[in-house]
Structure 1
């Protein structure tokens, strides 16, 4: 059976104003222009979120499969057809049990992989990470996680200034796991050394990092100017000033900028009291902060809202779409499967109205919302 979806189709090479995406089974079979088609809704590839801790009242951080399944379903309703389950700094026992619990979900396709944000992070830049669990990178721990993950472990964020970090980056990249730099007080030179060692993602650029100074450029400048590094950006109007967001996009381009949610369980939920990595979080006016010191604790963002915010501050729609779909898929090695409206890729797409609100979502050739 062939299914056709018509509208303003956003492809890697531009917008087909009168376009059609043809779907057979779970694959895109063709993308073409049909002049007889009226200019309709935006048709964009399914969003790929490589950094999210939960949503809809559910979390990935406890390693519970039912909660992970529910969080993934929440984000699917907002157009995210592929996501990494991001865990926060925790004892190794939890890292190991969560990996074991999430492997079946990755094999089933509910999750696209696991992202460990910590615990190998800087105490000085820990943000909402629990300082009690921070430690130097352990090759033994990482080796075991990679082994029991059976390919599910896709990214690890660490601070390159910690003892053993460069060796850990080497281990990760050797096993096909993305090494990301984040929650770091590293110098520009230390960050460049991490990139040379194989690090290829900057975790939520500017946030949880030594700030930029004209005599001490720090990690953000090193990551922005490294041609082989993808830079995560949290486009919620809270984590980044619009000038910072547009500066990053102008510097690195949509080909290297990745919009992420960094969402926690409170995404899509009312203001109130929540938890992240064993720490109390208060959400007020949609902004999540640690109860103990007011540090920003993830976000309540969804990928469709991130797309709208980026466009509102001046990013062209095709570039913003690339930043929520194509670029993140490439950043974590999923580009041959998802992230673009292109023949042969999985039929993941989102129909958006003219205000870029989600109308419906297709995943693997089936309408799911």
Structure 2
């Protein structure tokens, strides 16, 4: 039996905080979480590997359900190798699970991204590929953000079935605009296939979002960004998500995509397990190069910490890593326990993986991150195997 004990740590289980505690891992699973006193009373035997964490934080491995790329690799490379490189790079930041996210592009490239992302599943040695996130193409050009309108489409069920087939059934979540014609048919199809639908890149009114909820749209994409804002005569999509506690939402917590004061408002209205921290990170995130490209366009990293298109200075996307998102939430006044929940238990629950990961509970996969007190990753374990170790 392969046994590991991480001790002398502050353990955040994804649900609560346990001071001066230890985690026992056996054959890739969480076996127990217990106090330092109990650790000192146990005799683990010579075969058990013991790691003194000297007060570091132990958390469930972080889960990023919306990420396009990292370290110069992205889903738009349309290669298995690029997805596997993303998997490896993510462990540098304490991430143990992710959904490669595919944005609207030419049909052959969109399908190529799907096939590459699905083809990488089971081959990864780093962060586990949970399944694909399709950010479109059934979204509204009126809220395109930096997406290319020509690649956005009306709901097409034959096309959706071709996506699902190309992915081998491995689509976990999909961003859609609830107001599009035939959305109910798409929602019913996705519900039957276990695909979490999330409203985004949408100009939906409050009533249209209510209809979407009735059809099964339960989540939302990069809340506040690329969606209809709140008005006193029409709460819009933003208002619907704030008003209905059952709706969950993504949040890019870099302090630029959403102002910290608005984030404070959000956490007053939403429980921690209803907020899902994501990065929406672009391909050049963490890349050190003179020329950076994202969405096949040249970008630069601004002083504000986000990418801008060179040609018009428009915001092109995020350069956030998920561990920094957690650290930022703490800086914005959220408790460490809640901030960690938003990046672990919350995404696991929203995507239906809560019985496998997202919390440090016996029987769950030993997907674990060890952070210093500034949330720099010191170690990352995926199913009990070290992918990063500096302890």
What stretches of structure 2 of length at least 5 have no aligned partner? Answer: 40-51
Residues 161-200 of structure 1 show CA distances to partners (whole Å, capped at 9, x for unaligned) of: 1222222112111111111100111101111111111012
Q: 1:84 aligns with which of 74, 99, 111?
A: 99
Residue correspondences, number: 369
- For the structure 1 residues 246 and 280, does the alpha-carbon distance in structure 2 shift closer, same or farther, using more than 3 Å as the test? same
Q: 2:171 aligns with which of 145, 153, 176?
A: 153
8 Å CA contact 1:272, 1:283 repeated in 2: no
Q: Hey, what does 2:327 align to over in structure 1? A: 308
**Is 2:3 the counterpart of 1:2?**
yes
Deviation, structure 1 residue 143 = 1.2
8 Å CA contact 2:277, 2:325 repeated in 1: yes
Deviation, structure 1 residue 287 = 1.6
Q: 2:25 aligns with which of 16, 23, 26?
A: 23
Residues 68-98 of structure 1 show CA distances to partners (whole Å, capped at 9, x for unaligned) of: 1112221221011000000111233323222
- For the structure 1 residues 239 and 291, does the alpha-carbon distance in structure 2 shift closer, same or farther, using more than 3 Å as the test? same
Q: Hey, what does 1:342 align to over in structure 2? A: 361
**Is 2:188 the counterpart of 1:170?**
yes
| SS of 1:304 mapped into structure 2 | helix
Q: 1:181 aligns with which of 199, 202, 217?
A: 199
8 Å CA contact 1:46, 1:348 repeated in 2: yes
8 Å CA contact 2:5, 2:24 repeated in 1: yes
Q: 1:253 aligns with which of 253, 271, 274?
A: 271
Which whole-Å CA distance do the structure 1 matches of 2:257 and 2:206 have between them? 22
**Is 2:69 the counterpart of 1:54?**
yes
Compare 99-108 and 161-170 and name the one that shifted more.
99-108
Compare 280-289 and 25-34 and name the one that shifted more.
280-289
Which whole-Å CA distance do the structure 2 matches of 1:180 and 1:157 have between them? 5
Q: Hey, what does 1:95 align to over in structure 2? A: 110
| SS of 1:298 mapped into structure 2 | strand
**Is 2:83 the counterpart of 1:68?**
yes
RMSD of equivalent CA atoms = 1.8
Q: Which has the larger radius of gyration?
A: 2
| SS of 2:83 mapped into structure 1 | helix
Which whole-Å CA distance do the structure 2 matches of 1:178 and 1:36 have between them? 41
8 Å CA contact 2:14, 2:358 repeated in 1: no
Deviation, structure 1 residue 36 = 6.5
TM norm structure 1: 0.95
Q: Hey, what does 2:36 align to over in structure 1? A: 34
8 Å CA contact 2:64, 2:347 repeated in 1: yes
Compare 138-147 and 76-85 and name the one that shifted more.
138-147
TM norm structure 2: 0.90
8 Å CA contact 1:92, 1:141 repeated in 2: no
| SS of 1:100 mapped into structure 2 | helix
Residues 316-352 of structure 1 show CA distances to partners (whole Å, capped at 9, x for unaligned) of: 0000000011101111111111111111111011111
